[in-house]
Amino acid sequence: MKILLATACGAKKNKGRMPAIDLYKSSRIKAVNNRRDGADFAVLSAKYGLIYPDRVIRDYEKILDSKGVKKLIPQVTEFIKIYDLIVFFKGGSRGEYRDLIKSASEMANKPLVMIGNRNQEDIGKLEELLLRCTKGDLEKINDIAPSIETYNIL
């Protein structure tokens, strides 16, 4: 099963042009990336849409709003088409990021699992979630953490 693990971008950034993983100062982004356990990893950027961590981008100041969601849906939908399952770590992200990934997964007809609460305490559950997803054991993932939401899972 080909899995994409993604999380929202961070507001604090380094200045200049560099790989996305180095641009964002967010400890959440680095922690999610470090727990990807064989899944591909991407950052959901308010400016660029879904991007791999090694993609070189320039710093920017942008907050995702409903207009940005509509603009980015085609890019995000196209990006996720090669995956069997999308896992989105939502901890601390704004509702617009969750709306964007949910809309794109619906348009691409891809199953989506969202995990993470405001305090990000569920970050330690990512490895177990990814392991179960890799094994195709999707029926029992809701017992991993109370913050889990599933969409389009048969």
Rounded to two decimals, the pTM is 0.94
Residue 94 domain flag:
yes
Taking only the tens place, the pLDDT of each residue in 113-143 is 999 987 777 888 999 999 998 888 888 888 8
Residue 21 domain flag:
no
Residue 28 domain flag:
no
Residue span of the structural domain in which 87 resides = 3-10+33-51+60-147
Nearest to 43 by CA among 1, 88, 77: 88
Residue 127 domain flag:
yes
Give whole-number Cα distances, 16 to 13, 25, 55, 140, in Å: 9, 13, 13, 44
Residue 22 domain flag:
no
Quickly state the pLDDT bin for 104 (edges 50, 70, 90): very high
Residue 27 domain flag:
no
Nearest to 7 by CA among 39, 59, 45: 45
Neighbours of 81 (CB within 10 A): 11
Q: CATH code at 123?
A: 3.40.50
Residue 154 domain flag:
no
Task: Give me the chain's average pLDDT, please.
Answer: 92
Give residue 87's pLDDT: 96
Domain count of the fold of the chain: 1
Quickly state the pLDDT bin for 86 (edges 50, 70, 90): very high
